[in-house]
Each structure stands twice: as C-alpha cells, then as structure tokens.
Amino acid sequence: MSNPILWVVIRTKRNTLKIEVWFDIACPYSYIGLKHLEKAIEFYAGGQPTVLLRSFELEPEIAVDNDETQCATLMRQYKLSQLRAQQTINAIMMAGQKAGLTIDFDKVIRTNTFDAHRLIHFAADNGKGAEMAGRLFKAYFEEGKRIGNKKQLIGLAAEIGIDAKQLLESNSYSAEVRADEHLAQRIGIGKVPFFWFEEKYSITGAQSITVFTELMSRIKAADDNR
C-alpha cells in the first residue's frame, strides 16, 4: 500500500544534512509541513538528508474515546465563533489539497496520540518509521480511524508488516516519546510542526516548499565554503 508521505528516516548516515521534526499525528499542519519538506528534499542537491521524526502531543490529556468535533475544539481552544472556526477548517483543508493531501475533518475522530507515537518509534527501529507515520496520518485525516484505539493501531501496523500487538500491550517506547517531549520543552518548542536543521536553524509551521529549499540551500552553501 502506498502512502502520501514518502520521507526517509536514516539514523546512521554521516556527512548529511540533519533535520529533526517534532510533530503530532493529530496536527494537520504537521501533515502538510512534512509533505512540503518531502518536496523540498527532492530539490536538495546535497544528498539525502537525515530526517529524525520526534514526538509531540498537542493534547496529551485528551481521552482515547472523544467525540468532540474539530469545529467545537477550535471554538473552545481559541474562543472562535462557529463561523470563524469553520472558515479555519476550510482553509486547512484547502492547504492540504494544494499539498496533494486529503484532510477531511468530517471524518476526523479526535483522540489521544500517545500510543501512535510509541508505535512510530517501534516501527522506526524496524526500519519503517516514516511509513508508519504516513499510514497513521492517512488513517486519521482521510479514513476517520480512531488512532488512539489499540486494536486499530495493531491493524494499521499489520498493513505495513509490523506486529505491534506485544508493543501495545506493554509500556515499551514510552520513554522514547517522553524523551522527545522533554527535549522539545528544553529547546522551547511550543507548537508543531517544528523543524530543526543541524541543531541551529528552525522553521515552525507548515511553511512553503520554497522556505525549506532556501534554508537548505543556504546551509549547504555555508558548508561548501568552509
């Protein structure tokens, strides 16, 4: 099964551009931003960057079984009118469409993403972290899957050849998720997506492909001139 996001996670390759990305599966801007990064990497002349996916929970206290709509969430969190919240949703869906992604808030089931992040770490250690993240994004934003539900996560993992039953019956990889979140707190990351290049330069939000390509080119030029 193909996934809309095809970025590559490489942990050991040396002398390549290092990009760390804090994201949440429930964040549409993370979905769009990662897609833009993927496209920017296609234009990058410095070889395949090392991209590390790092966990960030936008709503760590949210229940797995949650029936609040995205519109209601925006109204509650940002004190928006229903009209303004719906306009925001429409703008996000349009931005997703322009990036080649389907974001259907009529299908989205808001839920806790902690176990989804554990699953991504587990899949990464089996060489399939990016593929797992892509499958989860698609399941959440396009298919209306409750990605906080362990049975659904097991099924989604199985689709890409990952047996996650034992993982999700344990607390394994909880420490890895928390470590990412603690690092985010230490750095001062308050929202996602957050892209950290070479532990020096940062981009926040679903910026355009051009923003990514220009920064990556500047970093490469600086390295070439050393």
Distance between CA 220 and CA 226 in Å, rounded?
10
Name the more confident of 205 and 47: 205
Q: Give the CATH H-level superfamily of domain 18-224.
A: Glutaredoxin (3.40.30.10)
Task: Answer whether 0.75 is exceeded by the pTM.
Answer: yes
Name the more confident of 92 and 68: 92
Give CA separation, 57 vs 10, 72, 113, 115, 177, in Å. 23, 19, 7, 11, 9
**Nearest Cα to Cα of residue 137 among 1, 4, 2:** 4
- Which pLDDT score, from 0 to 100, does residue 49 have? 94
- Which pLDDT score, from 0 to 100, does residue 16 have? 87
- In a 3-state reduction of DSSP, which class is residue 23? strand
Give the tens place of pLDDT for each residue, 12-36: 334 689 999 999 999 999 999 999 9
- What secondary structure letter does DSSP report for 10? -
Does the structure show a pLDDT above 80 at 10? Answer: no
Segment 75-79 shows an average pLDDT of 93
Angle 85-87-88 from CA coordinates, rounded to 5°: 65
The contacts of residue 13 (CB under 8 Å, 6+ apart) are 48, 50
- Which pLDDT score, from 0 to 100, does residue 2 have? 40
Give the tens place of pLDDT for each residue, 148-196: 999 999 999 999 999 999 999 999 999 999 999 999 999 999 999 999 9
- In a 3-state reduction of DSSP, which class is residue 76? helix
Give the tens place of pLDDT for each residue, 80-110: 999 999 999 999 999 999 999 999 999 999 9
- Which pLDDT score, from 0 to 100, does residue 224 have? 83
